[in-house]
Amino acid sequence: MVPTQVLTARALSSRSLPRTSESVVTSSPSATLPASSNGPNTFASRDRSAFFSSASRSHPPSTSSPKPLTRTKVRQKRALNFLAAKLLKLLGKYKPETKQEKKLRLKKAAENGGAGKTAKPIHVKFGLNHVTSLIEEGKAKLVVIAHDVDPIETVVHLPTLCRRKNVPYCFIRGKANLGKLVHMKTATAVALTEVNKEDFQDLETLSNNFREQFNNNEKLRRHWGGGVMGIKNQHMVAALQRIKEIELAKKANM
């Protein structure tokens, strides 16, 4: 199933997000992202080709100027931009600790006496099998899936599973973005199981918004792709159609 709404961000910062949100949200998979004046749009050129390769081959990029957005589309973009920035800020607070940080934490606990076990830090859970298990067990509170996973069959079960277990989920552009959150090159999906008390309200707000936009959105389940065939498939269908026409003409002459 191809998502029709994808949360997008150009860069993730380990410390804080910039004041002006650089998140971009596409309302449809075939929509093109405008280039930035500060530099090339890394995600529009790199990630879209891997996810929608057949559509891009059959429809070359147009050189004409893009159509202006309506007020409704602008409002939707602003709302989703705000949610994307808020989501990345929340996930950035719960990055898993590195090996060095874990070593220092255990060393400090040992110096203080080490009578009891130290409290395990709250962090983002990652790994496809791990996230799937958390959803099945009902422990996941929010699931974030990358849009450019290849092969896509590895994650197509997650939206259905999230709807069945009533777990809010969303799609974000770029598996490299999720990888930065967990100190990896790429990550297919991440999940939040718990947060601190000060972030509970933000998690509830994001969960309610994503549940309306993805879990309860009937259009996401009824629209399967754009119905556009690749150029090779178009030639093959045209050749078969010509053969059928020739056979029908021979039967008519007989």
pLDDT in tens, 208-240: 999 998 999 887 776 666 677 788 989 999 999
50 has pLDDT over 50: no
Query: In the prediction, which pLDDT does 41 show?
Result: 45
* Portion of the chain with pLDDT greater than 90, in percent: 36
CB atoms under 10 Å from CB of 233, counted, come to: 12
pLDDT at 46 over 60: no
Query: pLDDT tens digits, residue range 116-147?
Result: 666 777 899 999 999 999 999 999 999 999 98
Least confident interval from 41-45, 107-111, 162-166:
41-45
The residue with tokens 């931009």 is 81
- Would you state the pLDDT for residue 31? 42
Domains, the chain: 6-57+72-96+119-226 (3.30.1330.30)
pLDDT band per the 50, 70, 90 thresholds, residue 64: low
User: What does the mean pLDDT of the chain come to?
Assistant: 76
- Please name the amino acid found at residue 81: N
| pLDDT above 90: residue 104 | no
Q: Tokens in use for 146?
A: 């990358």
Q: Which pLDDT score is estimated for 52?
A: 37
Q: How far apart are CA 127 and CA 206, in angstroms?
A: 22
Position 21 pLDDT exceeds 80: no
The residue-averaged pLDDT of 36-59 equals 42
Region 159-182 average pLDDT? 91
Span of 19-33, 67-81, 149-163 with lowest mean pLDDT: 19-33
Query: What is the structure's pLDDT at 57?
Result: 44
What is the chain written as a DSSP string?
A: ---S-EEE-S---SS---SS---EEESSTTPPPPPPSSS--HHHHHHHHHHSHHHHHHSPPP-SPPPPPPHHHHHHHHHHHHHHHHHHHHHHTTPPPPHHHHHHHHHHHHHTT--SPPPPPP--EE-HHHHHHHHHHT--SEEEEETT-SSGGGTTHHHHHHHHHT--EEEEE-HHHHHHHTTSS--SEEEE----GGGHHHHHHHHHHHIIIIIT-THHHH--S-----HHHHHHHHHHHHHHHHHHHHHHH-
> Can you tell me the mean pLDDT for 195-217?
91
Does 100 have pLDDT greater than 90?
no
Contacts by residues 182-185 (CB-CB < 8 Å, ≥ 24 positions apart): 182/95, 182/96, 182/124, 182/126, 183/95, 183/96, 183/98, 184/126
